[in-house]
Amino acid sequence: HYNFCAGPAALPTAVLKRARDELLDYHGHGLSVMEMSHRGEDFVAIAERSEVDLRELLAIPDNYRVLFTQGGASLQFAALPYNLLGAGGRANFVHTGIWGKKAISETRHLFGDVHVAASSEENGHSAVPRQQEIVLSADAAYLHYTANETIGGLAFDYIPEAVRPDGTPVPLVCDMSSSILSAPLDVAKFGVIYAGAQKNIGPAGLVVVIVRDDLLDRARDDMPTLFGYRALAEAGSMVNTPATYSWYLAGLVFDWLKQDIGGLTAMAAINARKAARLYAAIDGSGLYANPVTLRNRSRMNVPFVLADPRLERPFLEEAEAAGLLNLKGHRSVGGMRASLYNAVSEAAVEALTDFMADFEKRRG
Ligand code: PLP
């Protein structure tokens, strides 16, 4: 079977096998990682290794802290303004789809006013605003954007610059839930990067936050302890009991990326081939269509519709019978969506495009 789920998503088979082999008795220690004290030597070693590997994969500079926290990426929608609005100012956003909108709503709900610096709402989220269209407010505290909108399949093709109209730079904050680790990244351009784990990192529940250390001083003092980046950083992400097993599995994924794939440059090349194959299949057909402008097409999430919506049901049924799972689009937009995260192999994409061509020949 091939799993094209948008999240929780497929994990590398090699990782699942290793987890199975280590499940009952971790390296002869007589217990499962799930049963270990998070403060014990063995788990602390697992935690430290995972951070070292993630730092190496993303070439994270030393002045950034890496947090392994919980509550999903959605909890960061709330934690971010608490952590970054302590010195006043307003949160600024580039709005390119449903997840960005949720981040905006949560900030508004908690702190009232926000400034939307640019939006792709007018073009139906089919193209990301250009740099010159992003106009921050004079009181911008930071600029938040969503690198890859998981539902719309809309991705930034550049890293925006976050500067107030008077030229003062402000921290750039990015929701990278559905694109982190899919390609190399210049972390130094960002103030905060955060990502829910359940796409390219590991099991749901865990959230990775990468924060520049000078930003740890901007927090409001009225926030829940567990939101606090400083508290998490100082406690090695162990303010309370962390999601130990998810964290361990994330470590196995990082190791797989390093050892089996050969790092993020190699991963990016594989991801580029996968996406090119699927978009070519869509663009070359009379049955399938994707509305996103070429430069902003996501390599991770590929939504597409069928020319005749009545064929959607048979498409999904036959795909599932052929072992191609979870191709149904997000419930809010319908249609189809194939997610091509790191763990989805080139063979999986080939099986999908073969099926699509065959389906079109028979039913299109
Ligand atoms: N941001 C993006 C880009 C996502 O794709 C998702 C979930 O799919 C979220 C945020 C929300 O993540 P969570 O369900 O972990 O809160």
- 5-53 pLDDT, tens digit per residue, is 999 999 999 999 999 999 999 999 999 999 999 999 999 999 999 999 9
Q: Which of 260, 290, 323 is the last residue of a domain?
A: 260
- In the three-class reduction of DSSP (H, G, I as helix; E, B as strand; rest coil), residue 120 is classed as coil
User: In the predicted model, what is the mean pLDDT of the chain?
Assistant: 97
Same-domain pairing of 217 and 266: no
Residue 148 confidence (pLDDT): 98
CATH number of the domain that residue 238 is part of: 3.40.640.10
Ramachandran angles phi, psi of 214, nearest 5°: -70, -15
Same-domain pairing of 125 and 198: yes
Same-domain pairing of 204 and 273: no
Domain that holds residue 310: 2-9+262-363
What mean pLDDT comes out for the span 274-279? Answer: 98
- Answer with the residue of higher pLDDT: 330 or 177: 177
d(Cα 352, Cα 346) in Å, to the nearest integer? 10
Q: Which residues does ligand 1 sit against, CB inside 6 Å?
A: 7, 72-74, 99, 146, 150, 175, 177-178, 196
Which residues 6+ apart lie within 8 Å of 108 measured at CB?
114
d(Cα 182, Cα 179) in Å, to the nearest integer? 6
Domain count, the chain: 2
Instruction: Check: CB of residue 249 under 8 Å from CB of residue 203.
Output: yes
Residue 152 confidence (pLDDT): 97
Ramachandran angles phi, psi of 137, nearest 5°: -80, 160
Same-domain pairing of 339 and 242: no
Candidates 96, 99, 104, 246: which one to mutate for ligand 1, based on the most atoms within 8 Å of Cβ? 99
What mean pLDDT comes out for the span 137-161? Answer: 98
Instruction: Check: CB of residue 352 under 8 Å from CB of residue 4.
Output: yes
Residue 56 confidence (pLDDT): 98
Same-domain pairing of 143 and 217: yes
pLDDT tens digits, residue range 162-171?
999 999 999 9
Residue 57 confidence (pLDDT): 98
Residue 333 confidence (pLDDT): 85
What mean pLDDT comes out for the span 61-84? Answer: 98
Which residues 6+ apart lie within 8 Å of 337 measured at CB?
4, 6, 151, 153, 301, 302, 303, 304, 327, 328, 329, 330
Is 221 annotated as a binding-site member?
no
Ramachandran angles phi, psi of 289, nearest 5°: -150, 145
Q: Specify the length of the chain in residues.
A: 364
Instruction: Indicate the pTM of the whole model.
Output: 0.98
d(Cα 120, Cα 245) in Å, to the nearest integer? 38
Is 76 annotated as a binding-site member?
no
Residue 235 confidence (pLDDT): 97
Q: Which of 260, 288, 306 is the last residue of a domain?
A: 260
Query: Rounded to 5 degrees, what angle do the CA atoms 277, 266, 51 make?
Result: 125
Q: Which of 260, 287, 321 is the last residue of a domain?
A: 260
Same-domain pairing of 341 and 207: no
pLDDT beyond 90 at 364: no
pLDDT beyond 90 at 197: yes
The residue behind tokens 């709503």 is: 105
Interval between CA 172 and ligand 1 midpoint (Å): 19
Query: Ligand 1 atom closest to Cα of 196?
Result: 15
Same-domain pairing of 174 and 293: no
Instruction: Check: CB of residue 144 under 8 Å from CB of residue 284.
Output: no
d(Cα 130, Cα 145) in Å, to the nearest integer? 13
Is 175 annotated as a binding-site member?
yes
DSSP code string of 208-244: EEEEEGGGGG---TTS-GGG-HHHHHHTTT-SS---H
Among the options 101, 175, 247, 256, which is catalytic? 175
Position 331 confidence tier, pLDDT thresholds 50, 70, 90? confident
Same-domain pairing of 249 and 273: no
Same-domain pairing of 196 and 221: yes
Same-domain pairing of 221 and 268: no
Same-domain pairing of 227 and 275: no
Query: Rounded to 5 degrees, what angle do the CA atoms 190, 188, 203 make?
Result: 65
CATH number of the domain that residue 310 is part of: 3.90.1150.10
Ramachandran angles phi, psi of 325, nearest 5°: -100, 150
Percentage of the chain lying above the pLDDT 90 cut: 98
Q: Which ipTM value was assigned to this complex? A: 0.99
Same-domain pairing of 44 and 93: yes
